[in-house]
Structure 1
Amino acid sequence: MRKIKDVYNAVPAPIADLITYRALPTQEVSYIDPFLFLNHHGPQTYKPGNRGLPFGPHPHRGFETLTFILEGDIMHQDTGGGQSVIEAGGVQWMTAGRGLIHAEISSDKFKREGGPLEILQLWFNLPAKYKMVAPNYIGLQKNELPVVTEDEGKVRITVISGTWGDVKGPIDSLSDISMNSIALDKGGRFTKHVASAQNIFFYVVRGAILVNGETVQKLNLVEFQNEGEELQVEALEDAYLLLGHAQPFNEPVVSQGPFVMNSEEEIREAYRDYQLGKMGSWEG
């Protein structure tokens, strides 16, 4: 089995009136190559007539984002032409590449009616060879994502990128990153094999699970050593987790604000290009 290196608590990091926990980076862990950042927003309930999500227009360059909408919705718009409203159960995958400006706010309906909200956003690094690719956006609703069931239906794996058994996810990752979200009923079990050279992203969103003999509660990130290949997971109560894996890039990571590059000079260039309008102009 894979040996567990450590378990890290997500730290409270509220944004305006949005309850937020940050699992990456924290004082305990900077990143798990190529997984850079995870914000866990909610769970909380918004009243009717609310202001919604506070993520107005802002730029990105040099990485990708994967957003999980567990409750509520997100209205996305970007200067690359991407636009959608993704509802509960759906995901958004955005390749910032050489740069774009985007906004992630709540729909007019959600702001008018309110309701429960829980959203997670994960950032993946891009290797140097892909940092300046053309931006791309994919928004998928719940019914567009394949689900694999195991343990007589007590485990439901939503395949986003990569494969789970014979099922291929709908998103082709530039860097062969495999990502899944997994819902487990109490007592549900599954086993997953991951090549020892790959790094694993494992975050417990809800509930509590037993992984390779260690109990992990919600709002905790597990880091594994690169020894062994097997994950054995059992739900101690109803649970939900994010599970991904990828070959590490082993490249320098220099991040500042909305940009993630390989050097300080590339960060300065990103800010220059943004100010010169090379990432598009916002008209939304």
Structure 2
Amino acid sequence: MSPFFLLDFNAKMEFTASSEPRGVGVHPHRGFETVTLSYHGAIAHEDSAGNKGVIYPGDVQWMTAARGILHKEYHEQEYSKSGGPFQMVQLWVNLPAKDKMSTPKYQSIRQSDLGKHVLAADAGTIEVIAGEYEGTDGPASTFTPLQVYNAKLNPEGEALFNFPTHYHTGFLIIEGEVIINGNHKAAENQFVYFSQDGEKICLKAQLNSIVLILSGEPINEPIAQYGPFLMNRPEEIKQALDDYNQGKFGYLE
């Protein structure tokens, strides 16, 4: 679903309290961006470019690995000590060839920074993370045209979306239950991928619902992927491995 290469969804679950934060230790990335969205729980991030921070429910972490970065992600210390509900999404967003070796960067986006479009008739709110919805812009900067929203709908609330036919579009039902285009029901934890044969999509909530909306212009380039590296050609994967083993991605304890 270019430019989205991977969607890792941690459906809502409960973590017990722990004195040792759970998470993923130091690992590399090259050639794409990781976008982490928090719905429940808190995650602490640190990377070899000197960026660090914590995302709480409603926040977004947008990390551009580009030419190479090391990072680690763990449950935030206080959340780890108390435990509680946890629900996250991580996207891998591909970069075009011309930007794969650009400088890494990090965008820490608080929920208060998101663009918010209030729908008519008390239908709900569209939170705009990237792109634009009905004149409301999102704060994330992107390398290719992307639309990333959280649609938060009240029961019977409706929202209309209009994406170019050639875009790849998918909806992840984070919470609740919805009807799409009048006759397709989608329940919590389901993903809906749309065929490229129309531009307008109607979303109607049956319950209080949260839907992650993803749409973007495809990157029509070859893909070579190995583990945490996403490039265009196999020889670039080999170079990424060599650079990582030679310490060219920086240092992080």
Instruction: Give the TM bin, normalised by the shorter chain.
Output: over 0.9
Secondary structure of the corresponding residue to residue 237 of structure 2 = helix
Higher deviation after alignment, 93-102 or 143-152: 143-152
Question: Alignment partner for residue 73 of structure 1, among 29, 42, 52?
Answer: 42
Do structure 1's residue 138 and structure 2's residue 102 form an aligned pair?
no
Secondary structure of the corresponding residue to residue 152 of structure 1 = helix
Residues 10 and 89 in structure 2, CA contact (< 8 A), matched pair in contact too: yes
In angstroms, what is the RMSD of aligned CA positions? 1.3
Residues 203 and 220 in structure 1, CA contact (< 8 A), matched pair in contact too: yes
Question: Alignment partner for residue 32 of structure 2, among 63, 84, 87?
Answer: 63
TM-score by length of 2: 0.95
Do structure 1's residue 228 and structure 2's residue 228 form an aligned pair?
no
Query: Aligned partners of 1:66, 1:241: CA distance in 2, in Å?
Result: 16
Higher deviation after alignment, 257-266 or 48-57: 48-57
Higher deviation after alignment, 128-137 or 175-184: 175-184
Residues 11 and 189 in structure 2, CA contact (< 8 A), matched pair in contact too: no
Question: Alignment partner for residue 97 of structure 2, among 128, 140, 145?
Answer: 128
Residue of structure 2 equivalent to 1:172: 141
Query: Aligned partners of 1:152, 1:73: CA distance in 2, in Å?
Result: 33
Residues 162 and 169 in structure 1, CA contact (< 8 A), matched pair in contact too: yes
**Paired amino acid for 2:38:** I
Secondary structure of the corresponding residue to residue 175 of structure 1 = coil
TM-score by length of 1: 0.85
Residue of structure 2 equivalent to 1:262: 232
CA deviation map 1:13-67 (0-9, x unaligned): xxxxxxxxxxxxxxxxxxx111111111141222222544421111000111111
Residues 209 and 235 in structure 1, CA contact (< 8 A), matched pair in contact too: yes
Correspondence list, 1:1-284, <5 A: 32-49=1-18, 51-212=20-181, 213-283=183-253
Residues 35 and 201 in structure 1, CA contact (< 8 A), matched pair in contact too: no
**Paired amino acid for 1:280:** G
CA deviation map 1:55-84 (0-9, x unaligned): 111100011111111111111100112111
Identity rate, percent: 33
Q: How many residues are treated as equivalent by the alignment?
A: 252
Shift of 1:152: 2.8
Residues 41 and 87 in structure 2, CA contact (< 8 A), matched pair in contact too: yes
Residues 165 and 196 in structure 2, CA contact (< 8 A), matched pair in contact too: yes
Secondary structure of the corresponding residue to residue 122 of structure 2 = coil
Shift of 1:219: 1.9
Higher deviation after alignment, 87-96 or 199-208: 199-208
Shift of 1:187: 0.8
Residues 174 and 211 in structure 2, CA contact (< 8 A), matched pair in contact too: yes
**Paired amino acid for 2:242:** R
User: Which runs of no fewer than 5 residues in structure 1 stay unpaired?
Assistant: 1-31
Higher deviation after alignment, 123-132 or 215-224: 215-224
Shift of 1:168: 0.9
Query: Aligned partners of 2:22, 2:151: CA distance in 1, in Å?
Result: 25
Query: Aligned partners of 2:163, 2:11: CA distance in 1, in Å?
Result: 30
